[in-house]
Amino acid sequence: MCGIFALLCDSECRHGADCRLRQLDLSQQLWCHRGPDGLASLAVDQRLLLAGCVLHQRGDRARLQPVERLDGGRRRVLLWNGELFYCTDPRVDLAGSDTEAVSRLLHQCLSLDELLVALGCLGGPHAFFYYASDLSLILFGRDLLGRRSLLLTEADGRHLVWSSVALDQSASGDDSWAWTEVPACGVFSLSLAPPSESTAPPVLMLHPYDLYSDDGNEATPPSLCGRPVSLSSRTGVRRFVIDTEAVRRPPDAVAAAAAAEEQQQPQPLDAPPWLAAEVDTFERLLSDSVACRVQLCSSPYPPPAPTELSKVQPLWIRQSSIAVLFSGGVDSTLVAALAARHAPPQQSIDLLNVAFEQAPPKPNPTLAKARDKNRGKKSQHSRGTDPQDSGGGFNVPDRLTGIESLAELRHLLPGRHFNFVTIDVTLKELQEARTQRISQLCSPCLTVLDDSLGCAVWFAARGEGFLTPELNRHLQLAQQVTYRSPSKVILCGMGADELLCGYSRHRYIYSQHGYPAVAAEVSMEIKRIAQRNLGRDDRMVADHGREARFPYLDERLVAYLANLPPWKKADLSRDRGQGEKLLLRCCAARLGLALAAVRPKRAMQFGSRIAKCENRRERGDQACDRLRPAGGHKEAAG
């Protein structure tokens, strides 16, 4: 993983790059937190300045960036922020540094068309910036799901600045930069040829990803940082194609009759015969996705100095190379179970469970009487997880479901050590971290929902909490100890709800308009998933020198699910906790996660209770006045 920084001064600026570098000390920016293993810069010429910071994950040693290659009159420079999990080009060797592999591949390309073909072969999360002197060209972009952050701004109305994180310009006295996320809709090219040349292409051009069979390029942005974007007439960058006609096809008569019969005769959450093949394929693809994300990572961080922790943790605990954002829901529990399948047997796995401090609720006799009446009606698996049962302190719903799923994992996998890390966040800690770091990391995403989810992910990914004796008996602790996860990789469950009809709106759309409308909604969500969450989540996790990896968003799994009709992903006629994400729930049940498989979804902001931490009545899409805009960005990103 890497932090990307690039500054392109306009053609009239002679020494702007050096001057701007002095004003923006990158070593003092949040940007450098992304890459604690090395920082380097390169002044390509008087106009172009590049810098990169590196988190070493693959290869024998950290490969500093930018990576420069010289060949006769050709000069190529790469900034690569990503992981290459697979590549369809046989020339690429995945055994060592993926940064080196991508640099070699692109250097062999002699034209823009060849570069676009090569970029289309790369599988895995990434953002990149590439300079080709022989083509007078800059290429930049994010993968088609937007799993890595890349921001762009126009400084002083003349210069373009790319960065993985919004920069703090207060030291330079300039706070007018308005950052925008680079859309994850294709590869952008920027011509450096003199404007007077009649053969020069348009200044900024988009080479779109080929995804959909029938809707053209509706993701094309009209402009980027105020500059018009032209659509390339070349073939788009090939990824995978979603056959929208097949996706929207209604269930056949046999499947419909089988589903109706199941509803009349309720069965345990096992895969129905007509869905068994899909559950097999889903489990295989998800297991492969988890495997490469678990196995392609470096050693964990070394133990901290004793003075860094209030109570020194036993050094023999520190053996976890993998951590999981763990709420106890079916998505994260299934990821944890598959991670245990593929991680080395001697390693423990850290389960990071975050909770925000709650004030004790005020007594309400009427509500208390109603809750007492309803408690007896709850199914056994949901007892103790009602939000109303959480009370004050840190006993929030996600803590309770996390403990339940922890017990299920340990029963299913007795030989695997799971460290359950309780991450308790006070209101004071929340407000301080938001002011000092989270607000800038969120930018340009500045809604109430961005605040809630961004803060929850930031504290969870920090990995600092407690190991308690009662929840970590395998450690034989005499008392609670302070703990910081050493993992450089955090597995996150984002994407499952969008791909598998997991939101309540999917159930509502089904009730009103049926499966064809659900298919249209899911198709739209796949297109916009990059702009909604993932860039922000990447910035939050990477701020701790860790890398977010999203097993549900592997391209091969996404391609498979995107081409399944919705009635093979979810049975929205079933009860909540069973019908949505049916494919995933059947897979979890098959693996033995019976309780997690039927646990209803609860959004992170409600399960961790951050949404109620500051007692505000707000809509998620409202601009959040608690977030300080970075670089003068005044409006929430839509």
- For the question of residue 297 being annotated catalytic, the response is no
Q: How confident is the model at residue 504 (pLDDT cuts 50, 70, 90)?
A: confident
pLDDT of residue 407: 96
pLDDT of residue 546: 95
- Which percentage of the chain shows pLDDT scores above 70? 78
Class level of CATH domain 269-300+317-359+393-623: alpha beta
Stretch 203-208: mean pLDDT, rounded? 86
Q: Determine the angle formed by the axes of helices 582-590 and 330-342, rounding to 10 degrees.
A: 50
pLDDT of residue 193: 80
Residue 587 reports pLDDT greater than 50? yes
pLDDT of residue 254: 47
pLDDT of residue 230: 83
pLDDT of residue 318: 57
pLDDT of residue 634: 37
pLDDT tens across 131-154, in order?
999 999 999 999 999 999 999 998
What lies within 8 Å, CB to CB, of 90 at 6+ separation is none
Q: Average per-residue pLDDT in the chain?
A: 82
pLDDT of residue 633: 41
pLDDT of residue 478: 87
Residue 378 reports pLDDT greater than 50? no
pLDDT tens across 518-552, in order?
988 988 888 888 878 899 999 999 999 999 999 99
| Pair of tokens at residue 384 | 């103790």
pLDDT tens across 165-178, in order?
998 866 555 566 78
**Distance linking the first and last C-alpha atoms of the chain:** 27
Could you tell me which of 605, 304, 299 has the C-alpha nearest to residue 464? 304
Stretch 268-297: mean pLDDT, rounded? 88
Stretch 322-335: mean pLDDT, rounded? 96
pLDDT of residue 199: 47
pLDDT of residue 45: 87
Could you tell me which of 607, 619, 606, 615 has the C-alpha nearest to residue 359? 615
Stretch 607-636: mean pLDDT, rounded? 70
pLDDT of residue 236: 57
Rounded CA-CA distance 275/141 in Å is 37
- Dihedral in degrees, nearest 10, Cα atoms 336, 545, 397, 613: -170
Instruction: Please identify which residue in the block is written with the tokens 């707000």.
Output: 618
pLDDT of residue 389: 45
φ, ψ of residue 109 to 5 degrees: the values are -85, 130
Judge if 2-242 and 269-300+317-359+393-623 fold alike in CATH terms: no
| Pair of tokens at residue 397 | 């719903």
pLDDT of residue 400: 94
Residue 383 reports pLDDT greater than 50? no
Evaluate whether 8 touches 153 at the Cβ level (below 8 Å). no
pLDDT of residue 168: 80
Q: How confident is the model at residue 300 (pLDDT cuts 50, 70, 90)?
A: confident
Q: How confident is the model at residue 156 (pLDDT cuts 50, 70, 90)?
A: confident
Residue 315 reports pLDDT greater than 80? no
pLDDT of residue 155: 78
Please tell me the least confidently modeled range out of 297-306, 333-342, 413-422, 621-630.
297-306
Residue 632 reports pLDDT greater than 50? no
Residue 326 reports pLDDT greater than 90? yes
Distance of alpha carbon 78 from the chain centroid: 23
From the list 2, 121, 442, 492, the catalytic residue is 2
Stretch 482-497: mean pLDDT, rounded? 94
φ, ψ of residue 545 to 5 degrees: the values are 70, 35
pLDDT of residue 252: 56
Residue 201 reports pLDDT greater than 50? no
Q: How confident is the model at residue 306 (pLDDT cuts 50, 70, 90)?
A: low
Is the Cα torsion angle 521, 522, 526, 532 positive or negative in sign? Answer: positive
pLDDT tens across 406-436, in order?
999 999 999 999 999 999 999 999 999 999 9
Q: How confident is the model at residue 214 (pLDDT cuts 50, 70, 90)?
A: very low
Residue 399 reports pLDDT greater than 90? yes
pLDDT tens across 333-374, in order?
999 999 999 999 889 999 999 999 887 766 666 656 666 665
| Pair of tokens at residue 174 | 């300039």
234 or 62, higher pLDDT:
62
Q: How many CB atoms lie within 10 A of CB 544?
A: 21
Instruction: Please identify which residue in the block is written with the tokens 């049975």.
Output: 571
Element containing residue 555 per DSSP (H, E): helix 555-562
Most confident of 39-43, 286-290, 498-502, 505-509: 286-290
* CATH code linked to domain 2-242: 3.60.20.10
Evaluate whether 165 touches 438 at the Cβ level (below 8 Å). no
pLDDT of residue 351: 98
555 or 15, higher pLDDT:
555
Domain ranges within the chain, ordered by starting residue:
2-242, 269-300+317-359+393-623
pLDDT of residue 379: 41
Residue 569 reports pLDDT greater than 70? yes
Instruction: Please identify which residue in the block is written with the tokens 């910081």.
Output: 484
Stretch 469-496: mean pLDDT, rounded? 92
Residue 263 reports pLDDT greater than 60? no
